[in-house]
Amino acid sequence: MGDVSGKRPTITHVIFDMDGLLLDTEKFYTEVQETILARFNKTFDWSLKAKMMGMKAIEAARVFVEETGISDSLSAEDFLVERESMLQSLFPTSELMPGASRLIEHLHAKGVPICLATG
């Protein structure tokens, strides 16, 4: 059973994910994958993105090249190398997600330790 006093538990620590939570980087993954597929006259399918979400990078890469039919031309490993290179050039242009700065400043002002965890 939960606390029946109506009080919320005190937040003692916060762990943030970076991509898509603090920084607006998710769009970069889509952009890069669309660019790679365009070379093969293919388009990115949002159902494919849904299949790839939550997977380890190499697993998602295998799904990507197999589902799009480019595995004969581009291996999962080569896809990851190319994608990473393209992402590294885009990441410095990423912006904070709405409210991220305000939340971090609030937690800091309240003395709540924060940590960044990312894949």
Residue 78 among the catalytic residues: no
Burial of 119 (0-12, 13-18, 19+ CB in 10 A): exposed
Rounded-to-5 percentages of helix, strand, coil across the chain: 50, 10, 40
Which is catalytic among the residues 19, 24, 72, 78? Answer: 19
Residue 72 among the catalytic residues: no
Which is catalytic among the residues 3, 17, 45, 72? Answer: 17
Catalytic residue positions, numbered: 17, 19
